[in-house]
Every structure is written in structure tokens, then in C-alpha cells.
């Protein structure tokens, strides 16, 4: 593909995403969409883990379009202020503070220098650091969802992305403790989450008193030893980010390992199935959110490697992103709010299957921004 041909479809894709998001913003405003049902995004409480992706996408489009659309900026700022009730309320906070405050407060601070946003980001980082279990060297994932439940030993691969909040906090505060915790958690990811073939466990359950590994669970994948594709995307991107923040070769090597597993198992249209090892018809279900997240991570990975191998990651990311644009986009359907069709949120729990997902949309826009070199990127 020539550079001119690539530039044409990338610019088209960016402008389509920007136009649809502008239309969506008139209805959604400073709310928190998650999954599209009946062509409209269902709005969740500010405490839901996806609360950062809508404002994060607004910031990405605002920054990548010459910072001219002040209406998108205003909505993103309003979303950030609404999240104060969650941050100050404390009890509903879990490991997803990175997803929520990197894409709101850290984004705002990077773009505008707002002091209140810097403080919010540091508060969120402090709460995330407080979830670190010294014995198992992991950041605890969930709180108890129901009476009698004990999640104190649970860590999940998704948190690979959230550690960027800790790396950021160390950089802006000068306090290395946040970075030490982030590195300890990512070292645990290397030891217990990444299989030799580059596939990834979703959940590892530790004894919270001793740090002993008790079990490894399938979580949102088909089975404990299957290969949930979004988990692989979280891992390859999160490890590339950890390398960006630390320069530790082991993180880069593991990111490459997961990336090769991911790339070599893509179907003909380059958009992943929801689990690379799910059998039969179940295994044919796509997850565009895994594709868009992996594409953005692969573009970062390409920027970290020598030219002799960078093209492998960049070309894979371009193929995924172009396929998402041409084969899964909703540009001809003004009634559909989601940007990308065929996302799979949680197949084992039969929740939000074959629908647009806000995090899929966010990472798609972010991947386009990376291709266009239109940062900043809030994980970095």
C-alpha cells in the first residue's frame, strides 16, 4: 500500500469517527456510555469501569483535530468533574482507576496543564497503589460484588493497562514508590499470566496472606486454558507501555511474544475472534474491541523496535485498523451510535455480545491517532 493510499483511508476514517462522535455528543453529553443496545449507547453510572472511555475519546478527537472543537473539550471536562463523586466516595473504586482517570484527568492535565486535574490523577494513583498486595506482588482487582464474596486474592490481566497511572504519578510527583508498585505488578504478569506460547490467562487467584498462586481462571475467556483475545490485547499493549516507562527489556520481549501469538491467529479479515481457542460456532464470534486495542498497542510496539521487525507490528496494526474501518464501521448508519459493530464484552456471562462497545470505539480512534501521529497518548 502506498503512503498516499494509506493517508486517504486514514483521513476518511478519522473524519467519519469525528463526525459521528459530534452527533452522538448531542445526546450523550457528560454521561458514561458502555455498550450499544438497539443502536443507542446504554448509559452507566460514573462508577462503572468504562467511565473514562467516552471522555477519553473526546479528548483524543479534540487534540487530533487541531483543538478546534471546544464542545468536545467541554463535555470531557464535565465528565471528569462528575467522576469526583466516585473518587471522593472511595468505596466503589477498584483496579480500573487507570482506565477512568488516565483518560480524563491525566488527559486534561497533559493538554491544558489544569492543576485540579493533576491532583485528581495523583489521588487516583494513590488509591490504586493502596490495592497492592506485598505478599503476592499484585494489584488486587475487584471488590466484593455480593455479600460473603472474597476477591482479595484476585488479579487480572486488564490491570496491565492501569499501571500506566502509577508510572505517570511517579513521573509528575518525583516519588518512585508508584513506579516500584507498577513494576512489581508487571513482573508478576510476566511470571504468572503469560504462557510460553504467548497466550494469556485472564485471572490469577493468589492466597492474599502468603502470595501463593491458588488457581488460574478463564474469566471472560472460554475456558481456563483458552485464549481470550482482549486479554491478549491488554497484555501486549500494557507490556509495551511498561517498557516505555521503564526501559526493561523483559517487558518488551513479552509484549513481542504476545503480539506474535495474536497476529498469527487472526482470521482472513484481520479482526480477531473473541477467544482464539473457543470451539465451533462459538469460536467464530468476533470482538472488534480486542482488534482496536491490539492495533493501538502494536503501533506503540512498532515504535519501540528496530526497523527490521517494526514493520511486522505496524503492518499488522494497519491491516486490523483498515479492516475495522471498511468492514465493521457504522458510517452508513446514522441511527447507530457505536462506531464499530461486533464487539464482545463478556461471552461467558452472556453480556453485550455482538454489539458496539465504547472501549472498542476509543481504541479505534486512538489507533487512527497513532497512525496520523496525532498525540498525545494518555497512557504515556
User: Taking the CA atoms of the chain, what radius of gyration do you get in angstroms?
Assistant: 19
Q: Which of 120, 149, 153, 126 is nearest to 139 (CA)?
A: 153
In whole angstroms, give the CA distance from residue 121 to residue 126.
Answer: 9
Packed helices 288-303 and 307-327: angle between N→C axes, nearest 10 degrees:
150
Strand partners, 286: 273
Query: What is the per-residue DSSP string for 102-131?
Result: IIIIIHHHHHH--HHHHHHHHHHHHHHHTT
Report helix, strand or coil for 344. strand
Spatial separation of the C-alpha atoms in residues 14 and 321, rounded to whole Å: 11
Contacts of 142 (CB under 8 A, 6+ apart): 94, 95, 151, 154
CB 252 within 8 A of CB 235: no
For the chain, report the end-to-end CA distance as a whole number of angstroms. Answer: 29
Closest-CA residue to 380 (of 121, 171, 124): 171
By CB atoms closer than 10 A (0-12, 13-18, 19+), residue 160 is buried
The residues assigned a catalytic role are: 96, 158
Q: Which residues contact 146 (CB under 8 A, 6 or more apart)?
A: none
d(CA 215, CA 213): 6
Q: Is 170:179 a contact under the CB 8 Å cutoff?
A: yes
Amino acid at each position: 500500500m502506498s503512503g498516499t493510499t494509506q493517508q486517504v483511508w486514514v483521513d476518511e476514517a478519522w473524519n467519519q469517527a469525528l463526525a459521528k462522535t459530534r452527533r452522538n455528543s448531542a445526546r450523550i453529553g457528560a454521561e458514561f456510555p458502555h455498550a450499544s443496545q438497539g443502536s443507542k449507547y446504554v448509559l452507566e453510572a460514573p462508577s462503572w469501569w468504562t467511565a473514562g472511555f467516552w471522555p477519553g475519546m473526546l479528548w483524543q478527537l479534540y487534540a487530533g483535530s487541531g483543538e478546534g472543537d471546544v464542545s468536545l473539550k467541554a463535555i470531557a471536562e464535565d465528565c471528569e468533574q462528575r467522576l469526583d463523586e466516585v473518587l471522593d466516595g472511595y468505596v466503589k473504586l477498584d483496579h480500573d482507576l487507570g482506565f477512568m482517570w488516565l483518560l480524563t484527568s491525566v488527559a486534561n492535565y497533559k493538554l491544558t496543564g489544569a492543576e485540579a486535574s493533576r491532583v485528581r490523577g495523583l489521588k487516583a494513583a494513590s488509591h490504586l497503589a493502596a490495592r497492592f498486595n506485598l505478599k503476592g506482588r499484585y494489584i488486587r482487582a475487584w471488590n466484593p460484588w455480593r455479600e460473603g464474596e472474597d476477591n482479595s486474592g484476585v488479579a487480572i490481566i486488564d490491570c496491565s493497562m492501569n499501571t500506566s497511572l502509577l508510572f505517570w504519578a511517579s513521573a509528575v510527583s518525583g516519588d518512585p514508590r508508584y513506579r516500584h508498585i507498577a513494576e512489581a505488578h508487571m513482573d508478576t504478569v510476566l511470571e504468572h499470566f503469560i504462557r510460553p506460547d504467548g497466550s494469556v490467562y485472564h485471572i490469577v487467584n493468589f492466597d492474599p496472606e502468603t502470595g501463593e498462586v491458588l488457581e488460574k481462571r478463564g474469566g471472560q475467556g472460554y475456558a481456563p486454558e483458552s485464549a481470550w483475545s482482549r486479554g491478549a490485547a491488554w497484555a501486549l499493549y500494557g507490556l509495551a507501555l511498561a517498557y516505555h516507562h521503564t526501559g526493561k527489556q523483559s517487558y518488551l520481549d513479552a509484549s513481542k511474544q504476545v503480539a506474535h501469538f495474536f497476529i498469527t491467529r487472526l482470521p482472513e479479515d484481520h479482526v480477531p475472534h473473541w477467544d482464539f481457542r473457543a470451539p465451533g460456532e462459538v469460536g467464530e464470534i468476533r470482538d472488534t474491541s480486542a482488534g482496536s486495542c491490539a492495533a493501538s498497542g502494536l503501533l506503540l510496539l512498532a515504535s519501540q523496535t528496530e526497523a527490521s521487525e517494526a514493520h511486522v507490528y505496524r503492518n499488522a496494526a494497519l491491516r486490523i485498523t483498515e479492516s475495522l474501518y471498511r468492514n465493521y464501521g457504522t458510517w452508513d448508519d446514522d441511527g447507530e451510535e457505536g462506531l464499530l459493530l461486533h464487539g464482545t464484552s463478556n461471552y461467558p456471562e452472556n453480556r453485550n455480545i455482538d454489539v458496539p462497545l465504547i472501549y472498542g470505539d476509543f481504541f479505534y480512534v486512538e489507533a487512527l491517532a497513532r497512525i496520523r501521529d496525532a498525540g498525545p497518548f494518555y497512557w504515556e
